[in-house]
Structure 1
Amino acid sequence: MRIRIVDAFTDRPFAGNPAGVLLLDAFPDDDLLQRIALEVNHAETAFTHRLPEGGEADWALRWFTPATEVALCGHATLATAHVLHTTGAHRGPVRFATRSGVLVATPGADGSITLDFPTAPLTPVEAPEGLAAALGAEPLTVLDTGPAVGDLLVELADEKTVRQLAPDHKALAAHSPRGVIATARADDPAGAYAFVSRCFFPNVGIDEDPVTGSAHTALAPFWSERLDRPVLTGLQASPRSGLVRVEPRGDRTLLSGRAVTVIEGELLAW
């Protein structure tokens, strides 16, 4: 069984967010999928198989962290679409049947891929007691992102504060189902990126996720309204770093980025 490691939301190897991608004939039992994801040991491993023609989707898609299956994942969806297109397994827009409904990935003429994802609903909440201490910075604004994403979106004072965060991951785990999205306006919002973010997900086995597509379904409407811009680019300022172009469209958000296949090999235990 072929397995590929793809760096997503980047145009160069060893940046962005790596994901394992496996094209299957059918899904095996969940325990095997989880053990493979643990062996790959990236933020997510994506498993996909072709569906019969004539349905609402072309491929079934599931995502596993090293610890659990998740309901929504942007970078591994981008990585999977990249593999389907570069291997010739699928041409044109691809419709994925997922736990979050049908998600469409459309290749662009410039080599990018655009994902059509559900927009996360944002609800202002009071900052939970202990959040500032766990994060290591005082929140300006805190919003709940709803059950599909499962994070707290926390606005901080400035880009420098986001970049310098060194949170207590164990303490952060008490504050939301998945984790915390920390964000701030870019020092130069008119430059290459309009906002920065970092994502900490201790409850799914990921202390810091390098680049998080699903988080941008919350970041997109938040910053589009704040900056009064319909289309903008965010920088996820993890050590690997990556750029996500976002365009909120009501209850849907378009996420665009590039991907690079870095490793291709054979999964022998199957």
Structure 2
Amino acid sequence: MRIFTVDSFTDRPFRGNPAAVCLLDDAVPDEWMQAVAAEMRHSETAFVLREDGGPHSLRWFTPAVEVALCGHATLAAAHVLYSLGESGRLEFATKSGVLATEQTGDGLIAMDFPAKPATPGTPPDGLVEALGVTPVWTGRSEFDLLVEVGSVAEVRAVNPDMERLIAVEARGVIVTASGEGTSADYVSRFFAPRAGVPEDPVTGSAHCVLAPYWSARLGRDALVGEQVSERGGTVRTTLRTAPPAAPGTTPQGDRAELAGHAVTIWSGELEV
């Protein structure tokens, strides 16, 4: 089986967020995928089972657990498939429903993801102490906690106490601020020690939360987000409002288009 490492949300090698992409020949046990992800040691490894005439199967594993949604590993998987000759709209069957990607002429890949707006609320016990920040706003999305602070400098300076943060009930914690004074509309960092990822370099699924939050704050649907981790990366977001649901049907919910570049670092073959 072929396996790749791809740097996502960047157009330069050794920046953005590295993900492994494994192209499966056939269905494999969950335990095997988890073992491969632990061996690869990236924040996520994507496992793709290509299907003729339907969505490709796509699953994501950190070194410790399977996750229900991952942006940068989806971008990496789409980048690999496009580099191998697939074209047009690609669809992936995932635990978060069917996700689709499109490639533009300049190599940018756009992904159709569900928006995951955060609901305002009181910070859970231990969160503020673990982050060492003074929040401007806090809330919770389906998976993560969102914490806005007062400036880009405060986001860059966050140095969480991971032992305290791992006790906070959430998949991860997004720390964000307005991008005033930078080329971005907003900046962010993402910490997920409970999922085995102390800090994720660039997090697509976090931008499913950030896109509706900052679009509402700034009054624009199309934004540029900069994740200011050590490696850094850029995510272009476009919030798309879902049309009204037909009578008797379930509303689809708003969508967040996430777009970025990706670079293949190496490829090889698994021998196990």
TM-score, with length taken from structure 1: 0.94
Match of 1:23 in 2: 23
2:153 maps to 1:160? yes
TM-superposition CA deviations, 1:206-247 (whole Å, max 9, x none): 000000000000000111111112101000000000000001
Deviation at 1:187, TM superposition (A): 2.7
Match of 1:248 in 2: 239
Deviation at 1:26, TM superposition (A): 2.0
Match of 1:33 in 2: 33
2:119 maps to 1:127? no
Match of 2:73 in 1: 76
Deviation at 1:124, TM superposition (A): 0.6
SS at match of 2:205: coil
Q: Check whether the contact 2:8–2:73 (CA below 8 A) recurs between aligned residues.
A: yes
Match of 2:97 in 1: 101
Q: Which aligned pairs between 1:182-261 and structure 2 lie closer than 5 A? A: 182-188=175-181, 191-250=182-241, 251-261=254-264
Deviation at 1:132, TM superposition (A): 1.3
Structure 2 residue corresponding to 1:87, chosen from 84, 90, 95: 84
Structure 2 unaligned segments of length 5 or more: list them. Answer: 242-253
Amino acid at match of 1:158: S
Deviation at 1:176, TM superposition (A): 2.9
Match of 2:58 in 1: 61
TM-superposition CA deviations, 1:46-105 (whole Å, max 9, x none): 00011241x4x2x100000000110000000000000000111x2111000000000001
TM-superposition CA deviations, 1:129-157 (whole Å, max 9, x none): 321110011111111111xxx11000011
Q: Check whether the contact 1:134–1:172 (CA below 8 A) recurs between aligned residues.
A: yes
Distance 1:217 1:197 in 2: 12
Distance 1:184 1:26 in 2: 44
Match of 1:114 in 2: 110
Q: Check whether the contact 1:172–1:179 (CA below 8 A) recurs between aligned residues.
A: no
Q: Check whether the contact 2:117–2:213 (CA below 8 A) recurs between aligned residues.
A: no
Match of 1:13 in 2: 13
TM-score, with length taken from structure 2: 0.93
Name the Cα RMSD after superposition: 1.0
Structure 1 unaligned segments of length 5 or more: list them. Answer: none
Deviation at 1:127, TM superposition (A): 1.4
Q: What is the percent sequence identity of the aligned residues?
A: 52
Deviation at 1:265, TM superposition (A): 1.6
2:268 maps to 1:268? no
Q: Check whether the contact 2:58–2:92 (CA below 8 A) recurs between aligned residues.
A: yes
SS at match of 1:6: strand
Amino acid at match of 2:46: A
Distance 2:168 2:72 in 1: 24
Distance 2:105 2:183 in 1: 21
Distance 2:104 2:169 in 1: 35
2:180 maps to 1:180? no
